């Protein structure tokens, strides 16, 4: 699998300047936590594993995060916040005049690539959303709602332009699309084909479902 990148989303208080040594250590801990959480899940994530990946002593984590739960909460929020930023950037680059269905296809690709090959944070956030206690998901849920608004706008525009079937319930349609592309984190591995293959098949499947018969 391609190496995963740190998020473009800045955590609270992070400056635009080059990170200090302390800031780099905090970022390294977050990157490590995202990787461990994405692979081992909420129940299986141990701070000793995070410290090993971050190449730090486990007690050093408490200098930056009060508890394991605080660290997990940060990863879960960053995962969705960065995914939203990534999608907004992808949509902003679409040429004027691009049809509404093609815009949905761009969003499908942006989502899949981000969760499968770009960000451990997004993988961790999606995979553990149903496992992490509700009190740790307040910021994540707020970001998820904002992310959903973007998708709702894409689907609504395609419907209003009569570019997709008119007999579909738009809420159900949005949830089914999101369920389809989110589930990829659970079954996909490089052994099952490239991310390009996943994107191509998902786009073909969704485009067909949207089309008038």
Cα three-residue angle 75-76-81, rounded to 5 degrees: 95
CA separation for the pair 8, 85 (Å, rounded):
8
Q: 79 with 126: CB under 8 angstroms?
A: yes
Interval 93-142: pLDDT, tens: 999 999 999 999 999 999 999 999 999 999 999 999 989 999 999 999 99
pTM of the predicted model as reported, rounded to 2 decimal places: 0.86
Average of per-residue pLDDT across 58-75: 95
Average of per-residue pLDDT across 27-35: 96
To the nearest whole number, what is the mean pLDDT of the chain? 90
Q: 143 with 80: CB under 8 angstroms?
A: yes
Kindly tell me the burial class for residue 69, based on how many C-beta atoms sit within 10 Å of its own C-beta (0-12, 13-18, 19 or more).
middle
Q: What is the pLDDT of residue 15?
A: 42
Q: 6 with 54: CB under 8 angstroms?
A: no
Q: How confident is the model at residue 23 (pLDDT cuts 50, 70, 90)?
A: confident
Average of per-residue pLDDT across 137-152: 96
Q: What is the pLDDT of residue 108?
A: 98
Q: What residue segments make up the domains of the chain, in order of their start?
A: 69-210
Q: What is the pLDDT of residue 22?
A: 76
CA separation for the pair 116, 104 (Å, rounded):
18
Q: What is the pLDDT of residue 24?
A: 87
Kindly tell me the burial class for residue 204, based on how many C-beta atoms sit within 10 Å of its own C-beta (0-12, 13-18, 19 or more).
exposed
Fold classification of 69-210 is Tetracycline Repressor; domain 2 (1.10.357)
Cα–Cα distances (Å) from 148 to 30, 49, 127, in that order, read 25, 33, 17
């Amino acid at each position: 699998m391609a190496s995963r990148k740190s998020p473009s989303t800045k955590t609270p208080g992070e400056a635009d300047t080059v990170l200090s040594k302390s800031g780099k250590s905090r970022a390294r801990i977050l990157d490590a936590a995202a990787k461990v959480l994405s692979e081992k899940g909420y129940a299986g994530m141990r701070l000793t594993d995070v410290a090993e990946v971050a190449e730090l002593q486990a007690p050093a984590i408490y200098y930056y995060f009060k508890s394991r739960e605080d660290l997990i909460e940060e990863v879960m929020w960053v995962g969705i916040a960065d995914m939203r930023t990534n999608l907004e950037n992808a949509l902003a680059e679409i040429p004027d005049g691009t049809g509404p269905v093609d815009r949905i296809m761009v969003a499908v690709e942006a989502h899949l690539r981000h969760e499968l090959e770009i960000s451990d944070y997004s993988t961790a956030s999606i995979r553990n959303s149903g496992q992490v206690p509700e009190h740790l998901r307040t910021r994540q849920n707020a970001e998820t709602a904002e992310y959903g608004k973007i998708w709702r706008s894409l689907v609504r525009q395609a419907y209003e332009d009569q570019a997709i079937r008119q007999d579909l319930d738009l809420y159900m349609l949005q949830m089914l699309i999101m369920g389809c592309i989110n589930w990829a984190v659970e079954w996909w591995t490089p052994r099952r084909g490239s991310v390009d293959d996943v994107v191509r098949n998902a786009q073909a499947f969704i485009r067909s479902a949207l089309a008038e018969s």
